[in-house]
Amino acid sequence: MQIVDNALAKRAATGNPIKVGLIGAGFMSKGLVHHVVNAHPGIAISAISNRTIGKAADAYRFGNDAFEPITATNQADLNAAVSSGLPVITDDPFLLTRCEQLDVLIDLTGAVELGARLTIDAIRHHKHMILMNAEVDATVGPILKSYADAEGVIVSAADGDQPVVQINLARFVRGLGCIPRVLGNIKGLQDEYRTPTTQQGFAEQWGQNVHMVTSFADGSKVSFEQAIVANALGLTVHKRGMLGQDHDGHVDELTTKYDLDELRRLGGVVDYVVKAKPGPGVFCLAEHPDPKQQHYLKLFKLGEGPLYSFYTPYHLCHLELPYTIGRVVDFADSTGSPVGPPMVEVCAVAKHDLKAGQRLDDYGGYDTYGQAVSAREMLEADYLPEGVIEGCVLKRDLPKDTVITYADVELPEGRLVDQLRTEQRAKFQS
């Protein structure tokens, strides 16, 4: 990070900021604009796109009341504004993916189909894409990575989101000579049956999207996030849904809660715990294969082994995101991308009894929750991904807690995400 902050400082000193385009102007986008405008002169938020264009203007003004962004309705106007250093807004996100003057884009939409279309278009126009959109990353990340590699650009997860905080921790731990065996997410709540109705008050209190908040509570979000970690580090899960233990203590105590031989056999796993401290951080349980170094680790107060606990006690979302911008643009360093075939995916599970003919709502809604599952089980059972659930129509009644399969639904027509899922399966799993 010290290298990245020095590089950004040099850009600020030379008047050559990284030009960033934001897609989505919600809660995190506003926070990012304010942070960059007031703390990172080596970065410029050059353009913001949002379906409701007034919210894009609001995001700019959240960063600085004096901003009067230009509205662009065509490519030439947007390009000219970015070239001139003038803040510009639009309701057409594809003007950003096709803008040669932008160095990198950030998807903050949380929408899977739109996110897939934007990422593919950005890749085709030789543009880096940072995904603060765990849902599209977990659903079609491996195939998007293959497209990006072919064009010589980067599609990356984001610093500050828990997946990359875990991936950074794993990279640090590997640098110590240790072997990561468990990468974990610390949650305060897990209740698969939460809905937008139960979460409305919390969402309003914090000014967040109620469906996104519901996905945090019902386990869909942690499943998407841990799939990203698994696919970036080559890990798996113990079982569908992960272990997900309640642990009202410190994560250091988790070193005795796992069977090391099983972890070795599996090649390492992703997991989560509920109520553990320090929350809402992340943890890594790792072993060191060298007895001589084990002696030093004991001296350094990491315990007796064979598993040692490492953790980061926070994840600061948009406040850490500038590091990803610098890492991607100036160092060609993806902060988190699939390393090959999918290892873990997210299947859709009925949140209540579902009826034939019902059109299902999106993740974080009333109808389904997502569970992390091994890619092998996902393929063999033909599970339907939680990331493609919106708009699917049920062919038959399904009881509560049933895992939904492709055979159970009619897919909406013409979606890119379904095409990419087919390509991903053919490339990696056939």
Domains and CATH numbers, the chain: 2-158+321-326 (3.40.50.720), 162-317 (no CATH), 344-428 (3.90.1210.10)
For 334-385, what is each residue's pLDDT tens digit?
999 999 999 999 999 999 999 999 999 999 999 999 999 999 999 999 999 9
Tell me if residue 404 falls in helix, strand or coil: coil
Selection from 14, 73, 74, 24 nearest residue 45 by Cα = 24
Tell me: the pLDDT tens digits for 150-186? Answer: 999 999 999 999 999 999 999 999 999 999 999 999 9
Number of DSSP helices (H) and strands (E) in the chain, helices first? 16, 16
Residues β-bridged to residue 370: 348
How does pLDDT run across 381-403, given as a tens digit for each residue?
999 999 999 999 999 999 999 99
- Look at residue 1 in the predicted model and tell me its pLDDT: 61
Distance CA 132, CA 195 (A): 23
DSSP secondary structure letters along 208-235: --HHHHHHHHTSHHHHHHHHHHHHHHT-
Angle, alpha carbons 395-397-401 (nearest 5°): 115
Average the pLDDT over 401-424 and give the result: 98
- Torsion, Cα of 79, 149, 423, 341 (10° steps): -140
Q: Which candidate, 373, 397, 400, 399, places its Cα nearest to that of 386? A: 373
Q: How confident is the model at residue 311 (pLDDT cuts 50, 70, 90)?
A: very high
